[in-house]
Amino acid sequence: MAARKRPSPTSISTKPDTSEPKTTRYTPDNNVFHLSPPKLRSIFVISTLLCSLHLYLLCFHYTVDAELKRSVLINAALSLVGFFVTLKMIPVAARYVLRRNMFGFDINKRGTPQGEVKVPESLGIVVGVVFLIVAIIFQYFNFTEDSNWLVEYNAALASICFMILLGFVDDVLDVPWRVKLVLPSFATLPLLMAYAGHTTIVIPKPLVAYVGLEVLDLGRIYKLYMGLLAVFCTNSINIHAGLNGLEIGQTVVTAAAILIHNVMQIGSSTDPEYHQAHAFSIYLTQPLMATSLALLAFNWYPSSVFVGDTYTVFAGMTMAVVGILGHFSETLLIFFLPQVLNFLLSLPQLAGIVKCPRHRLPRFDPATGLLTGTKDGTLVNVYLRLFGPKSEKSLCIHLLVFQALACAFCFLLRHFLAGWYK
């Protein structure tokens, strides 16, 4: 859910854009279109901070099997190509969505010239398509026809593709919120049907004496848990939104944590099957991160495109898939700590106990350029109520730092509980 206000059909057809926008210019009569250049300097800084530790651990710190390292680096190279392809395709796609009147106005800039700019929507479709192409091409370099992981890999791509389609349908048709909660459960069906992994959980050591078992087989209940995890991850990113760069920012921060976690698990284990499970996660996370960074170059403040629900549900489903098939769903939930907190704060409004407006965004003051928290139950508003008014860019950076701290807390928690908890 981006910080946007969609125009009504009447305003689209009868009220042409007469403003002088600073970010995007589009005149339907003569097809003149200009998109602000990508903020590559900011993306370089962000990508350096997020990717350097992952690459250091993979190439220098741990002794990783040469064949496995080769596959990971090939995947990284294809992901880098995906980054540049996405960078080139976004202006093209933006032109087409504007022709179809798929644009919005930035609510957090209402009352300023930037608030009157028509911003192209649903550009997450570009990221989703490039991601799928990169992931499919990678199969040629890594999987053989009799590979045990090929079926689950293709099932994962089918679920992600299904979710991209449903997300784009939501952007076009504006699906009601209650329907959005159900859509991910349909998208997970290919993954659940093809899943051939274990359905057991390891009982925490302090509880073994009470349960009487060290390992508990949940059977079909485990698959139900997988489906619910996918529903949560998909919707949690969608509702923790509303600021330029927040949706993609939280995705790339969490993706970086997932990559670091996977390399650490590969480096600390000698089990080949365990290695493959975490490598599988890396193969999907690296393209997600690379293509997302390309979109962030256009979506970082001040945003020249909106990502749409297509991106948020795609990113959530992808991270749910890698957590499920990489067998670290508990760790993934701790990475999602800000999203869990935001969901708990939103629950009264989502459940209909408290009135829920269409846009649960902070209040923007054009005179000062600052955002002020409202009474709506979102992490964005609660943060503003606790720490006072902030600019949109500053608030987004603070929330992304909080996301990074949650991921760091997860690593510390795993370190201190290792050997005692499980």
Question: In sequence order, what DSSP letters do the residues of 295-312 get, joined into one string?
Answer: HHHHHSSSPSS--HHHHH
Place of tokens 């057809």: 13
Q: Is 55 exposed, middle or buried (0-12, 13-18, 19+ CB in 10 A)?
A: middle
Query: Which pTM does this prediction carry?
Result: 0.90
Place of tokens 């997600």: 288
Closest alpha carbon to 291 in 148, 95, 84, 38: 84
203: which DSSP letter? P
Determine the 3-state secondary structure of 104 from DSSP. Answer: strand
Residues contacting 298, CB < 8 A, separation 6+:
35, 36, 38, 39, 90, 123, 304, 305
The set of long-range contacts for 12-17, using a CB threshold of 8 Å and a minimum separation of 24, is 12/101, 17/116, 17/118
Closest alpha carbon to 113 in 1, 25, 9: 25
Q: Could you list the pLDDT tens digit for every one of the 422 residues in the chain?
A: 455 555 544 444 334 443 333 444 444 444 556 788 999 999 999 999 999 999 999 999 998 999 999 999 999 999 999 999 999 999 999 999 999 999 999 999 999 998 889 999 999 999 999 999 999 999 998 887 767 788 889 999 999 999 999 999 999 988 887 777 788 888 999 988 888 777 888 888 788 888 788 888 888 898 899 999 999 999 999 999 999 999 999 999 999 999 999 999 999 888 888 899 999 999 999 999 999 999 999 999 999 999 999 999 999 999 999 999 888 988 999 999 999 999 999 999 888 888 888 788 999 999 999 999 999 999 999 999 999 999 999 999 999 999 999 999 999 998 888 767 66
